Structure 1
Amino acid sequence: MTKIAILVGTTLGGSEYIADEMMSQLEVLGHEVSLYLAPKLSELDTQHLWIIVCSTHGAGDLPDNIQPLCTEIMLKNPDLSHVQFGLCAIGDSSYDTFCQGPEKLIHAIESCGGKAIVDKIQIDVQQDPVPEDPALAWLTQWQDII
């Protein structure tokens, strides 16, 4: 089956809960899944599918635990042409910067050749008080292509 890296960007832990649920669902299907709470480029295999589960912090920023990865990608400009990814963004629509933080990481990955294999999901915690539900539904919709 597929080797998958789940990259988590979280401030208060909500994204981690979602990532844990995704990991469980993917492991049941036989995939080999690794979860990264403080991902470093040197730890990530560009041949694995990257699922990015990330919230927005502050005024449209990335959470502190994943910001260093984004900075590293922007500074080193690595070849990520083999990276395929999916984005699960979590935010609060009462803010102007709804789900904008993860877009910075996606832009960095795409500028180095990475490609999204599915449409992103933007989960609004105002509409979905249990964000794991829409995240798992999103994953179920496309998990057969991995």
Structure 2
Amino acid sequence: MARLGIFIGSVYGGAEDLAEALASSAASVDTQVYFDPTLDDFLDYKDDTVLIISSTTGQGEIPENLLPLYVALQDQFPLLPEQGFGVIAMGDSSYGEDRFCGAGRQFDALLSELGAKSLQPRLDIDAGIHFEPLEVAQDWFDQFVVQL
């Protein structure tokens, strides 16, 4: 059975709710959701697949609960050539294009630098257009899971 670690960056719970809904829809996958992940949690999936689901805060920053993982990955810079990944980025384009989905864009770039393999292009969800992110994310996620 394929393994999937879902790592969440959330401030008000939207990304967390989305992650829980998606995880429960993946019956054929051994899925674990991490809200306060450590580097060890993440590296446990170095030969499997991870999914980053993150909202974006302030000026395009990573939420506080996910920031320590991002910093640890930058500092330790573990090469992850066997890891597959996907990113669902949540944001609001009314804050400006340079800030829109900034957390997801940063994780997407870092995981690529670490040599992980993107299983499909990042999904950017605009809260100004899609009030319910699950409506947009479910099809993307279903296609993502097929690739595991």
Other-structure match for 1:37: 35
Other-structure match for 1:114: 116
TM-score (norm: length of structure 2): 0.92
**TM-superposed deviation, 1:105:** 2.0
Aligned length: 144
Within 5 A, what are the aligned runs for 1:12-51? 12-26=12-26, 28=27, 30-44=28-42, 45=44, 46-51=46-51
Task: Give unmatched runs, 5+ long, in structure 1.
Answer: none
**CA RMSD for the aligned pairs?**
1.1
**Per the alignment, in what secondary structure is the counterpart of residue 101 of structure 1?**
helix
Separation in structure 1 between the aligned mates of residue 47 and residue 90 of structure 2, nearest angstrom: 25
Other-structure match for 1:140: 142
**Per the alignment, in what secondary structure is the counterpart of residue 143 of structure 2?**
helix
What is the one-letter code of the residue matched to 2:105?
A: E
- What's the CA shift string for 1:28-77, capped at 9, x where partnerless? 2x210000001111122212210111111110100000010110011111
**Per the alignment, in what secondary structure is the counterpart of residue 60 of structure 1?**
coil
TM-score (norm: length of structure 1): 0.93
**TM-superposed deviation, 1:108:** 2.0
**TM-superposed deviation, 1:130:** 0.7
Separation in structure 1 between the aligned mates of residue 112 and residue 39 of structure 2, nearest angstrom: 15
Other-structure match for 1:71: 71
Task: Give unmatched runs, 5+ long, in structure 2.
Answer: none
Deviates more, 1:64-73 or 1:74-83: 74-83
Separation in structure 1 between the aligned mates of residue 145 and residue 40 of structure 2, nearest angstrom: 26
**Per the alignment, in what secondary structure is the counterpart of residue 59 of structure 2?**
coil
